[in-house]
Amino acid sequence: MNVSDYDFDLPESLIAQTPLPERTASRLLVLDKASGSVEHRVFTDLESYLKPGDTLVLNDTRVLPARLFGVKADTGAKAELLLLKRLEGDRWEALVRPGKKLHKGATILFGARDLSEGAEPAKPLLTAVVEESGEMGARIVRFEYDGIFHELLDRLGQMPLPPYIKETLPDRERYQTVYSRNEGSAAAPTAGLHFTEAFLKKLQSSGVKLCPITLHVGLGTFRPVSADTIEEHEMHEEWYSVSEESAKMLTEARAGGGRIVAVGTTSARTLETIGQRFKEGPIEACSGWTNIFIYPGYCFTLVDALLTNFHLPRSTLVMLVSALAGRDNVLNAYREAIAKEYRFFSFGDAMFIT
């Protein structure tokens, strides 16, 4: 299959640069995957499409303030790291800039203070040493520091907003879901940004079950599909985890006939990873790495419905939603969303595929 089959023209003016003041104020396009019919609603209407016994699966990952700005120790030139995933101890996989000048042995200083002439150099708060090259142009770096790493990261790091967002974000929490718990992502699971705690409680009171799982969003979020055909593309691995309680909820949902509704493509990929792992038997608590790539022709094992945002042209995410709802249905819905000026991407409006 050609990647170009998932291309479409999107006016730049429809790329949402800032979140709406109220999380639940976004619009909702509802796509019936069987008929291809489309309805235009508001996000809080989602309640009317969910039924008692449905299980809403939420990715509770939390975004790290993972973008670090520093200087090269030898030249003082500016350097930047974007942390992608922790490997072990204080070693991380990261994107670096400038990539051509940050090779093995390069040292980057963060939080170094300017001192008056003649004073002894101050020890930086954080030091990163490039140890080797990683996948897809990334680097493996080792950090040196005194104190607690995550406290230093919170002090020095900035929220890693996607490159298509040019505006600054005054409130970091607006790029976190209200149910984020487990820190480790390089990007937010943005379909969940529409929920408030009050709306989630309202859904629960109507009989909808909330099931948290974790997938730490990594390098794949920042990499476009460069291959000409879908089959040539390789997904980057991401860490997932499912607790014993959540595994039980999913097993009961599958056995009891209620729908499993994934909130976001990250939840969908995690669900399908464990669905393949446990086949027809009961789902068990588990964790590990997944590089599952879902595109048309894939047979879903757990996901019955999907809440998602509107995605980039030619992206693996458009391919995933097309696997669930059909390419023609999805692209027709996207054309209608563009015509009606829906907001696209991370801070944009939502789509419910039912």
What percent of the chain is modeled with pLDDT above 70?
A: 95
Candidate ranges 11-25, 112-126, 230-244; pick with highest mean pLDDT = 11-25
Q: Which of 269, 318, 291 lies closest to 4 in space, CA to CA?
A: 318
Lowest mean pLDDT among 15-29, 63-77, 155-169, 218-232: 218-232
What average pLDDT does the structure give for the chain? 93
Mean pLDDT for 204-228 is 87
> In 219-237, which positions are buried (b, 16+ CB within 10 angstroms) versus exposed (e)?
bbbbbebeeeebeebebbb
In whole angstroms, give the CA distance from residue 68 to residue 112.
13
Confidence band (pLDDT; 50, 70, 90) for 117? Answer: very low
Angle made by CA atoms 321, 326, 329, in degrees to the nearest 5: 95
Mean pLDDT value across residues 201-216 = 98
pTM for the complete prediction? 0.91
52-81 residue pLDDT tens: 999 999 999 999 999 999 999 999 999 999
Give 123's pLDDT tier (boundaries 50, 70, 90).
confident
Q: What is the reported pLDDT for 163?
A: 85
Phi, psi of 342 (to 5 degrees): -65, 155
Q: Which helix (H) or strand (E) element contains residue 244?
A: helix 244-256
Could you tell me the pLDDT band of residue 236, with boundaries at 50, 70 and 90? confident
Q: How confident is the model at residue 116 (pLDDT cuts 50, 70, 90)?
A: very low
Tokens of 218: 């990594």
**Tokens 């919170």 — which residue?**
154
- Confidence band for 50, pLDDT divided at 50, 70 and 90: very high
Which burial class, exposed, middle or buried, applies to 121 when counting CB atoms under 10 A from its CB (0-12, 13-18, 19+)? exposed
pLDDT for position 219:
66
pLDDT of 168 strictly over 50: yes
**Half-sphere exposure (Cβ direction) of 164: Cα atoms closer than 13 Å:** 20
